[in-house]
Amino acid sequence: MFKKPIVIFFLGVILIAAPLFLFPINLFNGAIVYENGAQKIVQDAPLSLSYFVGLGYKEQDMIGISNYYLKQEGYILAFCLIIGFPALLAYRLKIKFEEDDKKKRK
């Protein structure tokens, strides 16, 4: 079962994405838009992916905040962590399994 790279990839995605979406780890570059009447203030701030699924913040913390979003750097980091690392791990293990199979055939 663990010799299939696709299984390793999906397990890696789940193991990396679960803490990022469940715990408030402020790791990703983003911006928070504060709104006070007609005035809007955009402030750069590290954000957590858990904020986008409704976890990790209190309602009192959101007073005056009209929006928050990830910047391009935040999206790139999220993609690299959630998709990139598991893909590299699966590819590396695939190569290792192929080498082991070649050694067994000799």
DSSP string, 42-105: EEEEEE-GGGGGT-S--GGGGTTEEEEEE-HHHHHHHHIIIIIHHHHHHHHHHHHHHHHHHHHH
SS3 of 30, please?
strand
- What pLDDT is stored for residue 103 in this prediction? 85
Count structural domains, the chain: 1
Residue 24: DSSP 8-state: -
- What pLDDT is stored for residue 101 in this prediction? 85
The CA-to-CA distance between both ends of the chain, in Å, stands at 24
d(C-alpha 12, C-alpha 86), whole Å? 5
Residues spanned by the domain of 16? 5-105
- What pLDDT is stored for residue 2 in this prediction? 66
- What pLDDT is stored for residue 1 in this prediction? 65
CB 66 within 8 A of CB 35: yes
Residue 39: DSSP 8-state: E
- What pLDDT is stored for residue 90 in this prediction? 95
Q: Is the pTM of this model over 0.85?
A: no
Regions of the chain with pLDDT less than 70? 1-2
